[in-house]
């Protein structure tokens, strides 16, 4: 079972780049890494997903080293509205019905300071 580990909290000033790292030492060959953002009293929202190397979209970048045992979510120039909890999810490969797990980390609470 791929367990994930993230820092509990991080602080950043507005306009700075923020990097949040997730460790997943037991990641399986066919697992993907997905990051979600969650605001209070709301469900998580998909940010970005990757398998290896680097993925970039309009809101974030995801860096995955060759061994895939960790991943780093990069948020460029954060604003106050980026204050939220960020979750790393490793999806275990399905080898048949009922045989896989989805493991969320406990999340990183990002506080953006003006």
Partner 1 sequence: DSGVTQTPKHLITATGQRVTLRCSPRSGDLSVYWYQQSLDQGLQFLIQYYNGEERAKGNILERFSAQQFPDLHSELNLSSLELGDSALYFCASSAGDRGYQPQHFGDGTRLSIL
- Positions touching partner 1 (CB under 8 A) are 31-32, 34, 36, 41-46, 49, 87, 89, 91-92, 94, 97-107
| Closest C-alpha to 75, from 14, 31, 9, 5 | 14
| Residues whose CB is less than 8 angstroms from the CB of residue 65 and which lie 6 or more positions away in sequence, other chains included | none
Contact 21, 6 (CB under 8 A): yes
Select 54 or 106, whichever has its Cβ closest to partner 1: 106
- Residue 9 beta carbon to partner 1: minimum distance, rounded to whole angstroms: 14
Select 2 or 78, whichever has its Cβ closest to partner 1: 2
The residue whose two tokens read 């290896």 is 52
Select 5 or 16, whichever has its Cβ closest to partner 1: 5
- Residue 97 beta carbon to partner 1: minimum distance, rounded to whole angstroms: 6
Residues pairing with 90 in the sheet: 33, 103
- Residue 25 beta carbon to partner 1: minimum distance, rounded to whole angstroms: 18
């Amino acid at each position: 079972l791929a367990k994930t580990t993230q820092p509990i909290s991080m602080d950043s000033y507005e306009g700075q780049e923020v990097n949040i790292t997730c460790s997943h030492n037991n990641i399986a060959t066919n697992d993907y890494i997905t990051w979600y953002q969650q605001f209070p009293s709301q469900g998580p929202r998909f940010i970005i997903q990757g398998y290896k190397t680097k993925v970039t979209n309009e809101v974030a970048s995801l860096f995955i080293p060759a061994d895939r045992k960790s991943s780093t979510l990069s948020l460029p120039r954060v604003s106050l509205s980026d204050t939220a909890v960020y979750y790393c999810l490793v999806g275990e490969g399905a080898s048949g019905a009922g045989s896989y797990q989805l493991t969320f980390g406990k999340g990183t609470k990002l506080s953006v300071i003006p």
